[in-house]
Structure 1
Amino acid sequence: MTIEQIWQEYSASLKRLLQSKVANPADVDDLLQEVLIKTHQQIAGLRGADRLKPWLYTLTRNVVIDFYRRRGRQNAWLADEPQAGEQRSEGLWFDNEPVALQQLGDCVKPFIDGLDAEAAALLRAVDIDGRSQKALAEELGVSYSTLKSRVQRARLQLRQLFEGCCAMELDHRGNLIGYQPHQRECRCC
């Protein structure tokens, strides 16, 4: 299959995907062009024609992630783009990572309060107050490795609570770039 044939078959659906993630039509066109260029540059690395469609969608998703990451680094807000956290048809998307974290900070507290008292106290101390795990372990009279295990267990419990409420979109590094509540009335957000 040639690039022209691939583009003729998939460009419309890729453009719809981009339109669901990016509001500005000019940005959508630029990103679609970027997807075409990357497709042309990277198609030789594709193993098997049966993987073409998922490969194209992954490539497009990564282009969107890179777009928002670049914009976040520049701290540039475009007037015609929704502000961080505004509702879009596909969920909530963030242009600026610190803003996303700040907005979700209010969501975290009710979920932490939903954990058992020990787990909640650990997460408040380590993740919210920024206390050292080593210092906290000494203060509590437990070994450092024991405390690390407890913190990881508490984080897993917290993540499970979040995932019960919202589907989260993460970039390839695990950073939150957007989310979609499973129900209209999310109990925290």
Structure 2
Amino acid sequence: MTIDSIWKKYSAALKAFLHSRISSPDMVDDILQEILIRTHKNIHTIRDQKSIKSWLFQVANHAMIDFYRKKGRVKEVTLDDSFTIEEDTNTQQSLSACIEPFIKGLPPQSAELLIAIELNGQSQKTYSEEHGIPYSTVKSRVQKSRRELRSLFEDCCHLTLDSHGAVIDYVPKSNKYRNC
């Protein structure tokens, strides 16, 4: 990818991110220009073209931190904050279409448990009471089932996670999983 194509694709999202953190449009433009300069100077360091988006937001994050340091009022900005833009919603919507088929690919006991708790919103406490299973056992089974589900997702996609473990981006490992 060229710097022009990268900038055309991501500059609007970067600007929206900056506007959500900085009130002055002039300062936003200054930082956006700094991001462009840093991108131009360091684009050769990107090894995987699929990681351009996350790399750009890291550059934006660092540029903002540097900006606040220069101004003498440091504002803590974390990488996971940088993905509160529209594209995060699109990622979640895309992956949500995969959840139910993947849950159904789990062992029946795990699938039933996750469908009740994760998809239907039933509390773990209520589930334990209705099925006569100790609450602590249900909690353990939910955690185990979530790990199994995550493993299925990781088998199909390269996941990019924020600092809290939430999925912020994904790339299917093969065409087989393009539409889950």
RMSD across aligned positions (CA) = 3.5
Q: CA–CA distance in 2 between the matches of 1:150 and 1:31? A: 36
Kept after mapping to 2: 8 A contact 1:110/1:188: no
For structure 1, which runs of at least 5 residues remain unmatched after alignment? 1-7, 23-27, 43-60, 73-94
| Aligned equivalent of 1:157 | 148
Contact in 1 for aligned 2:39/2:59 (Cα 8 Å) = no
Aligned amino acid, residue 13 of structure 1:
N
Which 5+ residue runs of structure 2 have no aligned equivalent?
1-36, 71-77
Give the corresponding residue for 1:35.
Answer: 62
> For residues 134 and 167 of structure 1, what CA distance do their matches in structure 2 show?
34
Classify 1:38/1:14 alpha carbon distance in 2 versus 1 (closer, same or farther; 3 Å): farther
After superposition, what is the alpha-carbon deviation per residue over 1:152-179, rounded to whole angstroms, capped at 9, x for unaligned? 1111111111101111111112221100
Paired AA for residue 68 in structure 1:
F
Deviation at 1:112, TM superposition (A): 0.8
* Alignment partner, residue 111 of structure 2: 120
Task: Describe the shift of the 1:177–1:10 C-alpha distance in structure 2 as closer, same or farther (beyond 3 A).
Answer: closer
2:161 and 2:58 map into 1 onto residues whose CA distance is: 19
1:146–1:188 distance in 2 versus 1, CA, 3 Å = farther
Would you say the 8 A contact 1:14–1:32 is kept in 2? no
Aligned residue in 2 for 1:178: 169
- Alpha carbons 2:172, 2:178 under 8 Å: kept: no
Aligned-partner Cα distance in 2 for 1:104–1:160: 14
Which residue in the other structure is 2:52 paired with?
A: 20
Task: Normalising by structure 1, report the TM-score.
Answer: 0.57
Counterpart of 1:136?
A: 127
Identity %: 34
Task: Provide closer, same or farther for how the CA distance between residues 144 and 136 of structure 1 changes in structure 2, counting only shifts above 3 A.
Answer: same
Distance 1:115 1:34 in 2: 38
Number of residues paired by the alignment? 132
User: TM-score, normalised to structure 2's length?
Assistant: 0.60
**1:11 CA drift (Å):** 6.3
Pair 1:100–1:33, CA change in 2 (3 A): closer
